[in-house]
Amino acid sequence: MSHPHPELAAPPELPEGGLRVVALGGLGEVGRNMTVFEHAGRRLIVDCGVLFPEDFQPGVDLILPDFEYIRDRLDLVDGIVLTHGHEDHIGAVPYLLREKPDIPLIGSRLTLAMIEAKLQEHRITPYTLEVKEGQRERIGPFDCEFMAVNHSIPDALAVAIRTGAGLVVHTGDFKMDQLPLDGRLTDLRAFARLADEGVDLLLSDSTNAEVPGFTTPERDIAPVLDKVFHAAQRRVVVACFASHVHRVQQILDTAARHGRKVAFVGRSMVRNMGVARDLGYLKVPGGLLVDIKQLDDLPEDKIVLICTGSQGEPMSALSRIANRDHFIRIGEGDTVILASSLIPGNENSVYRVINGLTRWGATIVHKGNALVHVSGHASAGELLYLYNVVRPSNVMPVHGEWRHLRANAELAVLTGVARDRTVVAEDGVVVDLVDGRASIVGKVPCGYVYVDGSSVGDVTDASLKDRRILRDEGFISIVVVVDSVTGKVSGGPEIHARGFAEDDSLFGELRLLVEQALEQAAAEGIGDTHQLQQIVRRTAGKWVSDRYRRRPMIIPLVVEV
C-alpha cells in the first residue's frame, strides 16, 4: 500500500542551510516509525520500526518502512537514533543493517541491549553509542541532545536536534506520569530550557491526542491486579507486550505478595525480561521466578504465567494456549489477564482468543471490564501542557493515524501555533524547514514492504489481493484441450473447485457455456491460447457472478494438441 499524493511532485533540491524531514513510516498509522532528517548533505534517522499486519494482509508477518528513498544514500547516514525499545521503533533495524551493517545505533542502555539481543538472531554485530538523558552528542552535522521521557518502557528518550536550519525536537513516545514506577519523570525542565533557546520545529507523539485529560498513572493498576489475584482460584496467566517492563514489574510484585511463583512463557518475553533483569531495570525478588519445566511440581493456586499474545497473534503463546496447541492447558478456575490495549485492526484476533479461552472455562480480565492497562502515550491535557512549555514555531504531529494527527494539530493551534505552521503530513511527504518555516514541498515513493517468512519485499499488494480472494472466495480451475488445427474442443472442460463449491455436478451448465464460447472463438478464427484462456475466464466469471454472487479466483488452462 502506498500513498501516491497526485497533487504533489518530487521535491526540489534542498535549499542550502535548510533541513529536510521525510517520514518513511509512522504517519497515518500506529507503527513502522521512521523519520529521516537531511542537512548539509548528510542524513540522520530517528527510529526504524515495524508495523504489524491486519486481517486484510494474510500471510504477512511484519511490515517494514520502504528503504528505497535512502537505499542509494546509506553512505550518507551518520546514525540511527532509537528513542526506546518497542518493536514499532526498533523492529526494522535488522533489515536496514542487512543493507549496511556499520550504520551506528544511538540509544539508551536498555534500548541498545534489546536491539543487540534481536540482532544476535540475525547474526549482526552493530556499532553502538550508548547515551543517557542530559547527554549531548555530535552526529555528523547534527548536534543531538537527549532528554528523559516517561513511557511504558524504561529508558525512553526524546531528542533535540540542532542544525544550521534551526532547533528540532522529536518527543518520541511519551506521557507525563507524575508517579512513575521507576521515578523517572518526563524532563519538563529540559523542554523549557529548549523553549528559551527557541524550538523551530516540534515533532510530537499523537497517539492519544483525541483522549481528553491526562493519562492514568501506571501505578493505578496495582490495586486491580491485587484484587484479581486474590479472587483467582487456580493459575493466573497474564498476557502483555514482551517489552512492557513496568507492567511485568507490577505483576511480579503482586505475585510475590500473594505467595505465587512466576514463569515467563514465549521466546521474546524470556529474552527481553532477561535483558531487563540483567541491567537492573526489572527487580525480581529472590526465589520468585521458576523455570516453566517446574510448573508440574507446584500447586495450581501458586502459579503465575507471563506470556506474549495480548494482540491475538496467531503464533503467540496465548493464542496457542487458547487453541489447545500448547503444553499449558487452560481449565475451569484459571484466570487470564490481557494487560494491554487493542491495537486497531487486532480486535477480531483478540476476541477470538478470548472466546477460545472462555470455552475452556477460564475467567478473562481485560481492559473492557477492569483497569488492567493504562496507555503509555500523552493524552490531550499533557500535549497542551507540552505545547505551552515548548512554545514551538512550527509543529509536525507524528506517530498516529490521520484522526490522531489532525487532533494533535488542533491542540497546537489552540495553544497559539499558527495554523499555517502546523504541518499534517503522512508517509513519503517531504517537509522542509527553511528560514524558520516548515512547509510541504513534495513527495517520495513510500509503500509497504512485507516480510513473509524469509521473504522480504517479494509479496506485493497484487499477491495479497490474490490471497484475500483465495481466502474469502475460493478458486475454480478449468482445463480445456483444443485441436491446434481446427480450434475445436477435443477434451474437457474439466472443472475443479476448492473453497467455493466442490460438488462437480454444479458445473454442468458452466461446461456447456465454456464449450459454446470456445466454439464461437474458433468460428471467429481466434486460436491464441492466451486469448482462449481469457475467454474461458470471462465466461466462468460471469456465470459464477450471475448464479452465486461470488468472485472466486478462476484459473483457466487451455492446452493445444
Strands 157-163 and 166-170: antiparallel
Greatest CA separation found in the chain? 87
| Residue 178 falls in which region: left (phi positive, over 0), alpha (psi -120 to 50) or beta | alpha
pLDDT of 2 reads 43
Beta-carbon contacts of residue 169 (< 8 Å; ≥ 6 apart): 158, 159, 160, 161, 191, 194, 199, 201, 202, 203, 390, 392
**Number of Cα atoms under 13 Å in the Cβ half of residue 537:** 14
Q: Which three cell numbers stand for residue 400?
A: 498516529
Q: Which helix (H) or strand (E) holds 272?
A: helix 267-278
d(CA 82, CA 84): 6
Q: Mean pLDDT by 10-residue block, N- to C-terminus, for the chain (561 residues)?
A: 65 93 92 94 95 68 87 94 94 93 96 93 92 96 97 95 96 94 94 97 96 93 92 90 89 93 88 91 90 85 86 74 82 87 69 85 85 90 97 96 95 96 94 95 87 66 66 78 74 77 70 82 78 84 80 81 74
Q: Which three cell numbers stand for residue 22?
A: 521525510
Beta bridge partners of residue 422, listed in sequence order: 395
Classified as helix, coil or strand, 25 is: strand
| Prior bond of 552 cis (ω within 30°) | no
Residue (of 299, 291, 244, 272) closest to 113 by Cα position: 272
pLDDT of 491 reads 74
DSSP 8-state code for residue 394: S
d(CA 208, CA 552): 41
| Fold classification of 218-365 (topology level) | Rossmann fold (3.40.50)
372 close to 170: Cβ distance less than 8 angstroms:
no
Question: Fold match between 19-213+375-451 and 218-365?
Answer: no
Burial class (CB in 10 A: 0-12, 13-18, 19+), 247: buried
* CATH tag for 461-560 (out of 1.10.10.60, 3.30.230.10, 3.10.20.580, 3.40.50.11540): 3.10.20.580
Q: DSSP for 46-66, please give it.
A: E----B---TTSTT--EEE--
Is the C-alpha dihedral spanning 538, 539, 540, 543 positive or negative? positive
Strands 449-452 and 62-64: antiparallel
Beta bridge partners of residue 150, listed in sequence order: 175
CA angle (120 as vertex; 118, 126 as ends), nearest 5: 90
CATH number of 19-213+375-451: 3.60.15.10
Statement: the pTM of the whole predicted model exceeds 0.95? no
d(CA 517, CA 296): 68
Write the CA distances from 553 to 380, 496, 544, 545, integer angstroms: 47, 12, 11, 12
pLDDT of 121 reads 85
Locate the domains of the chain by residue range. Answer: 19-213+375-451, 218-365, 461-560
